[in-house]
């Protein structure tokens, strides 16, 4: 038996027995799961043992009762933010990540300008999907690291904050995610759902809208898997007392026309002026309406974009976190265009190809400790449905070093399809799950 140090979970269990049980398809009890998460977070279970158990979960799954216990244990591994001092209803949004997904930069101030408070704890990008904090940190002076008291103060005064999660928020998830990332167990729906929802529930929000991306540039490429993940997360949120809804949204093409960091901030500001790309505006407004409905706040987000309230709130948020909303954004010193190979309609622009190109240009990172370029990225000068002529620039690549262009262009091979017929418009919001 493994001894639990004083202050740990009362009952100790044999980790090897738990590995065998889950390997053989048996359910773990609530007490066993509570001990397991506590012991791993506290360093009393070796990484190789937790890796074995995570792989068993990957293949055997978790029952609804096991998943609830697992998520609760992850939440209990750290603090739960108290937002009771915030005078307005709280509601957050979480996206599973995509290419050009700068929605949070628009959505948080937009919903706040309509009367709800948006407590958004976000992350940095990894691989081809961009991170919200990387984008905001392209703004001179912007500070993502807020203390709990600063976070609550921003919500009470400005009405929104986008900040990094502290080390004491679901620390079990931080440790377990790093392990899953190097052991081939990231794609497990129960482990994804508990990872996302433990942090969002611990964040303290009263309501949550999930934007589950579907398509080539998304983590979930198949709608069936995306639906299963959304249903699992909605169930976890609802059972924990957080009013939760999910939208499945398309991610076969980049969202908007910019993929990168500073370039996405520029596009987000245009959207806040009511001048954003139609697809970005449509998805943002759909999520905003869901958030306001869950928060039980009457408001018209389209009007808030049109009359300048949302942009004014954005400026307040940036300034409140130390940034200068009037400062020029970084611009990469080198650029190159990708021309259309033939005349016709753009029928497909693969989100994954564009995301990998932006990553190779320097806008993303391969490891969490890697730096990112604020100015690098891809500008889509044409999108599916647009008519182009042979030789017309359809993409603009930006980088700090010209040596990056060749690898970025290779990522785009086969990612753009041009044909004689105009493609049928594809829906952006695919399903609503509540």
User: Measured between alpha carbons, how far is 107 from 260 in angstroms, rounded to an integer?
Assistant: 18
E strand map for 32-90: none
Structure tokens that stand for 29 in this block? 């009890």
Among the listed residues 195, 206, 240, 373, the single catalytic one is 195
Catalytic residue among 180, 200, 243, 365: 180
Name the catalytic one among 60, 199, 243, 398: 199
Instruction: Give dist(CA 8, CA 134) in Å, integer.
Output: 37
Active-site hit among 38, 72, 173, 316? 173
* Active-site residue, selected from the candidate residues 13, 68, 93, 94: 94
413 is a catalytic site residue: no
Residue 236 and residue 230: Cα distance in Å, rounded?
10
* H or E stretch at 396: strand 393-399
Say how many residues make up the chain. Answer: 434
Quick check: is 335 catalytic? no
Residue 47 appears among annotated catalytic residues: no
In the numeric block, the tokens 């990168």 are attached to: 260
| 173 assigned to active site | yes
In the residue annotation, 273 being an active-site residue is answered as no
Residues designated catalytic: 94, 173, 180, 195, 199
């Amino acid at each position: 038996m493994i001894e639990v140090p004083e202050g740990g979970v009362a009952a100790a269990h044999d980790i090897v027995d738990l590995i065998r049980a889950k390997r053989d398809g048996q359910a773990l009890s609530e007490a066993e799961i509570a001990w397991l998460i506590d012991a791993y977070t506290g360093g009393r279970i070796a990484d190789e043992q937790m890796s074995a158990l995570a792989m068993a979960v990957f293949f055997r799954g978790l029952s609804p009762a096991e998943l609830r216990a697992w998520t609760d244990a992850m939440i209990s591994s750290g603090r739960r933010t108290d937002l009771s001092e915030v005078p307005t209803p709280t509601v957050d949004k979480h996206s599973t990540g995509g290419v050009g997904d700068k929605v949070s930069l628009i959505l948080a101030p937009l919903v706040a300008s309509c009367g709800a408070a948006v407590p958004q704890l976000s992350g940095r990008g990894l691989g081809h999907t961009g991170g919200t904090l990387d984008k905001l940190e392209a703004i001179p002076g912007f500070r993502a690291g807020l203390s709990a008291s600063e976070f609550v103060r921003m919500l009470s005064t400005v009405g929104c904050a986008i900040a990094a999660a502290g080390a004491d928020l679901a620390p079990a998830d931080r440790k377990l995610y790093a392990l899953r990332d190097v052991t081939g167990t990231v794609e497990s729906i129960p482990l994804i759902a508990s990872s996302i929802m433990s942090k969002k529930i611990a964040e303290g929000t009263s309501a949550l809208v999930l934007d589950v991306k579907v398509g080539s540039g998304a983590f979930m490429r198949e709608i069936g898997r995306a639906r299963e993940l959304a249903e699992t997360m909605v169930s976890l949120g609802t059972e924990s007392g957080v009013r939760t809804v999910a939208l499945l949204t398309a991610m076969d093409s980049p969202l908007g026309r910019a993929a990168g960091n500073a370039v996405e901030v520029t596009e987000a500001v245009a959207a806040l002026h009511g001048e954003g790309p139609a697809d970005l505006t449509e998805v943002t407004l759909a999520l905003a309406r869901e958030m306001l409905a869950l928060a039980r706040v009457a408001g018209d987000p389209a009007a808030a974009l049109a009359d300048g309230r949302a942009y004014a709130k954005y400026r307040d948020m940036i300034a409140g976190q130390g940034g200068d909303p009037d400062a020029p954004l970084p611009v990469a010193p080198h650029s190159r265009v990708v021309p259309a190979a033939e005349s016709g309609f753009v029928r497909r622009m693969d989100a994954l190809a564009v995301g990998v190109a932006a990553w190779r240009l320097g806008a993303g990172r391969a490891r969490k400790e890697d730096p990112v370029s604020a100015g690098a990225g891809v500008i889509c000068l044409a999108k599916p449905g647009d008519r182009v002529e042979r030789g017309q620039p359809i993409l603009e690549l930006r980088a700090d070093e010209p040596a990056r262009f060749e690898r970025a262009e290779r990522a785009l091979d086969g990612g753009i399809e041009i044909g004689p017929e105009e493609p049928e418009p594809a829906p952006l919001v695919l399903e609503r799950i509540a």
